[in-house]
Amino acid sequence: MSFIVNNSRAIRLSVVIVALISILSVLAYVYEAERRFESVSDVLSQRLITTTQTVELLSRLSAEIGYGGFIHNFKNYVLRRDVNYKYKAEENYKQILMLIRQLEQMIEDKKDHVFLREIRRTIEEYNGHLDELTVDFSQPQIAADDKMVKVDDTAAINAINQLYNMVDELSQQTIAEANLKQKNAHIFIKYGFGLVILIALVALFLVSLIKKLEIKTIQANRANDAKGRYLLTMSHEIRTPLNGILGLIQLFNTKKLSKEERRHLNLIQSSGQVLINLLNDILDMNKVATSELHLDILPFDANLVLGSTTNFYKKVAAEKSLILNYQSSLPPDLYLNGDSTKLRQILSSLLAYVVKNTDAGSIKISVDGECENNFAEGEICLLKLKIIDTGLGLKSEEQNEFLEQASGLQEKGSHKQKPRQTLVKELCDLMDATIEVESLYGEGTNIKILIPMMVHSIEQKQSEGSEDQAYMDAFRDVNVLVAEENMVNAVVTKGFLEHLGSRVRVAHDGAEVIRLFDHMEPDIIVMDINMPVKDGIQASIEIRQKPNGKKVPIIALTGDAFEQTREKCKDAGMTETLTKPFSFELLRNSIYGALSSRA
């Protein structure tokens, strides 16, 4: 069914089949006809080309010799002693010799070359007198010169006429062979009607096949659309409660907790992040299948992304009594421009693999960066990730298959589980990254990834208290309208913003958003796009049509991570789109940026 998933693909395939069958049938018939009639079409065609080229060269040769050519310029030089005529004659001489050489290559019959040699002899004799002439215009000298330069060119003229006769004979021979070919063509046409009828019958059969394929295509496309809608719905349904869970954990983290309580909350948060990674993998696998995978380039804290991903697997490794060491040589506050989600997916998939397939010993993860200008802003640096384990390792044939797209999640007949290679390979290709695998069976595996990324900045962090105070000052007394159908998510978003000192009103559907907007005139709107009565996109369109709603920032919240959803939000006039679950810092930074841009 995969070859008819796309309607145009099925039609193209059918047309190609029709064309191939038709062409093969015609070629088979032509081959048989050519064999029977011993056609000389190739020779005939070559002779026509040779005849045409020979006539053209002879015409050029006559022009270079005759009026306006060598003889003309030679005689003018004799009469006038004007060096310009001499220069022209010398140039004509060079062209004549070149054309004679070309004709010698073109004319196959060596007996005809005698005419060319006669022309060459005559022209060379003329040319030999050019330098012998003086500039003395006395009557005796002119008479002597005229006598000296007289050359018998009768043989050359006859030679040119003979060459034209030769070409005429060749033309007559070509015409005779063409007539024979025409006669054979009549016979070919006579017997060709049967082939045409056969092709027509095949074409009718394939037309009916095309119609059947179109029906199958429509059915397959409907199934594919239904799968897409299902993934979109499931993405929203899973991300929405996850946003509530992780959001409440972040709210709890703003409270005073014991060390043990905070550790437990961090474990829950790490597990939730793993669920998000799995969900992203499922969605990205679907995008790989539909060629819709793309990068979302945004600044991110490199150490935070890599460190938090590794920390979760430290706990998983500890359950197997494995030691997982993580070491980063990156600057502490390095921000890179890139897709942090896909970077996290690559690292998470590979760590899941090595932890699963390492039964004893240790796993070492090292992170380094290579930059010429010490991580200057805007510089392209090479992010280096190395993962070394003491597991069973891979056999040589398994290394070759390790990152092949055809691999599944688990190799049949093998006790070792492989990572999600298809996605890892696609993500590395998408990010222009290279991945290398070295392994000795029984000694472990060494995985190295090199990813080019642009340096965004190296921030100089303020103290935690001063940073929080800066945000408190920016958010204090800001009127925020939160539109969220889900009660838990509404509580989470409201709690985030009130923690920053903002005044928050909550609406639970799009119609209520419009009413509250007219009533409170908010400084910013945080709007979920999936709401009853009137969704967030329609509500945004209506707000943008109001005189006082054209410049109010609208932050869209969505439970799916599809690009078409972001485009719909952008077309509706929404300022930015955040995918659930979002972090407290991401929401804070997005609102802070929107308010700063408005100011």
Q: In this predicted model, what pLDDT tens digit does every residue of 302-324 receive, in sequence order?
A: 888 888 788 878 877 888 888 89
- pLDDT at residue 403, rounded to an integer: 58
CB-CB neighbours of 193 under 10 Å = 9
Residue 36 in this model has a pLDDT that exceeds 70:
no
At residue 273, the 3 state secondary structure works out as helix
Query: Among 89-93, 279-283, 370-374, 503-507, which stretch is predicted with the lowest mean pLDDT?
Result: 279-283
Identify residue 26 by its one-letter amino acid code. Answer: V
Q: Average pLDDT in the 336-350 region?
A: 85
Percent of the chain with pLDDT over 90: 11
Query: Among 55-59, 389-393, 430-434, which stretch is predicted with the lowest mean pLDDT?
Result: 55-59
Query: Among 5-19, 191-205, 397-411, 530-544, which stretch is predicted with the lowest mean pLDDT?
Result: 397-411
Q: Is 378 left (phi over 0), alpha (psi -120 to 50) or beta?
A: left
505: DSSP letter: E
Whether 483 contacts 526, CB under 8 Å: yes
Q: Average pLDDT in the 120-144 region?
A: 70
- pLDDT at residue 189, rounded to an integer: 62
Indicate the pLDDT class of residue 103, thresholds 50, 70 and 90.
Answer: confident
What's the rounded Cα separation, in Å, for the pair 201 and 195? 10
Indicate the pLDDT class of residue 452, thresholds 50, 70 and 90.
Answer: very high
- pLDDT at residue 399, rounded to an integer: 65
Q: Which residue has the tokens 């060598």?
A: 70
**Tokens linked to 123:** 């022209």
What's the rounded Cα separation, in Å, for the pair 312 and 586? 21
Q: In this predicted model, what pLDDT tens digit does every residue of 60-85 receive, in sequence order?
A: 777 777 767 777 777 777 777 777 88
Q: In this predicted model, what pLDDT tens digit does every residue of 150-181 receive, in sequence order?
A: 655 666 666 677 766 776 676 677 666 666 66
129: DSSP letter: T
What's the rounded Cα separation, in Å, for the pair 585 and 591? 10
Identify residue 389 by its one-letter amino acid code. Answer: D
Cis preceding-peptide flag for 299 (omega within 30 of 0): no
Residue 467 in this model has a pLDDT that exceeds 80:
no
- pLDDT at residue 4, rounded to an integer: 44
Q: For residue 160, what are the CA distances in angstroms to 65, 66, 100, 108, 152?
A: 10, 11, 11, 17, 14
Beta bridge partners of 362: 323
DSSP code per residue over 229-260: HHHHHHHHHHHHHHHHHHHHHHHHHTS---HH
What's the rounded Cα separation, in Å, for the pair 461 and 482? 30
Instruction: Provide the Cα torsion 567, 569, 575, 578; round to 10°.
Output: -90
Identify residue 31 by its one-letter amino acid code. Answer: Y
What's the rounded Cα separation, in Å, for the pair 501 and 324? 41
Q: Average pLDDT in the 3-25 region?
A: 61
Q: Mean pLDDT, the chain, as a whole number?
A: 75
- pLDDT at residue 480, rounded to an integer: 93
Which long-range contacts (C-beta less than 8 Å, at least 24 apart) are formed by 515-521? 516/481, 517/481, 517/543, 517/546, 517/549, 518/546, 520/479, 520/481, 521/479, 521/548
Query: Among 38-52, 108-122, 435-449, 511-525, which stretch is predicted with the lowest mean pLDDT?
Result: 38-52
Percent of the chain with pLDDT over 70: 65
- pLDDT at residue 437, rounded to an integer: 85
Residue 301 in this model has a pLDDT that exceeds 50:
yes
- pLDDT at residue 354, rounded to an integer: 84
What's the rounded Cα separation, in Å, for the pair 544 and 542? 5
Q: Average pLDDT in the 497-509 region?
A: 89
- pLDDT at residue 411, rounded to an integer: 40
Q: Average pLDDT in the 32-60 region?
A: 66
Q: In this predicted model, what pLDDT tens digit does every residue of 377-423 receive, in sequence order?
A: 888 999 999 999 888 777 776 666 665 533 333 343 444 444 444 56
- pLDDT at residue 426, rounded to an integer: 78
Q: Please give the domain boundaries of the chain with CATH numbers for all domains.
A: 1-219 (no CATH), 256-458 (3.30.565.10), 464-598 (3.40.50.2300)
What's the rounded Cα separation, in Å, for the pair 150 and 158? 18
- pLDDT at residue 538, rounded to an integer: 93
Residue 29 in this model has a pLDDT that exceeds 60:
yes
pTM summary value: 0.48
**Tokens linked to 536:** 């967030």
